[in-house]
Amino acid sequence: MVLRVVHIDSGRDWRGGQRQVLLLAQALRAAGVEPLVIGAADAPLVGRLRDAGLAASSVSMRSDWDLLAARGVRTILRTWQPDIVHAHDARAHAIALAALAVPWTRRGSATPPLVVTRRVMHRPRHARLKYSARVAHFIAISAAVRDVMVSAGIGSDRIDVVYSGVPTPVVQWRRDWRAEAGWPDDAVVCGIVGAMTAEKGIARLGAIAEHLPEAARRRARLVFLGGGRSSGRASVGGLESYRAGFVDDIHAAMAGLDLLWHPSRSEGLGSTIIDAMALGVPPVAFATGGIPEVIEDGRTGLIVPADDTAAFARAASRLIEDGDARRALAEAGPRRAAEFSVERMARGTLDVYERVLPHPAH
């Protein structure tokens, strides 16, 4: 009998978590599992799933304990009769709990078990309610996320670490940011990728730029990939910058970078860093959350103490001024990135599914 899994994700934007849901659904289908993803109404995730030929449905999810959303999810679950329900964020977690609170008969057995993936470093709230035995098992995307969950009172025996996965990038061309922005040939293009929010460290960039030595400041240029569709020239801490806005072909855009700057304040793992290493773009990042589990410091990138903008600037300056060091890190990156494959993520997830099923799936 084919294993049927309903995934729930409440994200309204296209961010790292939604990409992981899409990649996991694709990999599970390739492994013989039948996935159905319930996304938020009008979410980009739903459209991308359908474009990929995957089953997707949508429900308006306005708050954590949205009873109308829970009713909509319950209707889909009763119709589709999954073997497992898998929630991928905090809101989806709460809505899934509410949807599963009323038991029903499914294939002659009990209500399906709930698996919850946690991707963030925030200490879980409402641990006694949301993290009770009503959740069959948890997946943490890094050991750092798992440790925060354990500190909140969730038993380590209920948590498996399953690292996020990224596909091996196939790049037909690299964007030439020097040509696009009119920068000199000796400019070192440093990219900031993802949501342009305070949590992702955007407010720190000015301080980092101001700490750069003068020689590095003359050569460094910043490219912002993400944060909407607005674009154009800007100045950050005195550094010439270019805002590219939202980019569809993100691998081609990232491949045109010389360095990735990742000044995030809180990071469950850092799939953008894995993408950069896969493309041979060395990252510089703060040692926060799961990032030290990804970067091999001094081998595939540079890690500096959290919140130390001067140390970040020193690390960035070293790679801006030393092309040989930059190339050495770039050459080691793809091997390290290959350890965080989508296939590995799918295998780890399937292991969790096998554990919570009341009987073998096959």
- Please tell me the number of Cα atoms within 13 Å of 247 on its side-chain side: 22
SS3 content of the chain, % helix, strand, coil (to 5): 40, 20, 40
Quickly tell me which residue has 């460094």 as its tokens: 220
pLDDT above 60 (res 362) = no
Both 91 and 148 in a single domain? yes
Domain assignment present for residue 286? The answer is yes
Mean pLDDT confidence for 133-140: 95
pTM of the model: 0.92
Mean pLDDT, rounded, of the chain: 92
Residues 234 and 299 in one domain: yes
Regarding whether 211 and 157 lie in a shared domain, the answer is no
User: Does residue 10 sit in the same domain as residue 153?
Assistant: yes
- pLDDT tens-digit map of 138-170: 999 999 999 999 999 999 999 999 999 999 998
Contact 242, 178 (CB under 8 A): no
pLDDT in tens, 280-321: 999 999 999 999 999 999 999 999 999 999 999 999 999 999
Q: Domain total for the chain?
A: 2
Asked if residue 248 and residue 103 are part of one domain, the reply reads no
Query: Residue 171 falls within a domain, yes or no?
Result: no
Indicate the range of 9-23, 118-132, 202-216, 226-240 predicted with least confidence.
226-240
CA distance 308 to 219: 22
Residue 362 forms part of a structural domain: no
Answer whether residue 172 is part of any domain.
no
279 and 247 in a single domain? The answer is: yes
Tell me what the mean pLDDT of segment 118-143 comes to.
89
Residue 310 lies in a domain: yes
Q: Would you call 77 helix, strand, or coil by DSSP? A: helix
Give the end-to-end CA distance of the chain in Å, rounded to a whole number.
6
Q: How confident is the model at residue 361, as a pLDDT?
A: 47
Helix (H, G, I), strand (E, B) or coil at 201: coil
Q: Say whether both 351 and 312 belong to one domain.
A: no
110-135 mean pLDDT: 88
Residues 158 and 17 in one domain: yes
**pLDDT (tens digit per residue) in 37-90:** 999 999 999 999 999 999 999 999 999 889 999 999 999 999 999 999 999 999
232-267 pLDDT tens trace? 787 888 899 999 888 888 999 999 999 999 999 889
Q: Name the residue range of residue 306's domain.
A: 177-337
Question: Is the domain of 128 the same as that of 67?
Answer: yes
**Does 301 lie in the same domain as 189?**
yes
Let me know whether 156 and 187 are in one domain.
no
Do 80 and 74 contact (CB within 8 A), yes or no?
no
- Is there a single domain that holds both residue 13 and residue 128? yes
pLDDT of residue 231: 67
CATH number, domain containing residue 63: 3.40.50.2000
Residue carrying the six token digits 């096959």: 362
Q: Is residue 75 part of a domain?
A: yes
Q: Is residue 361 part of a domain?
A: no
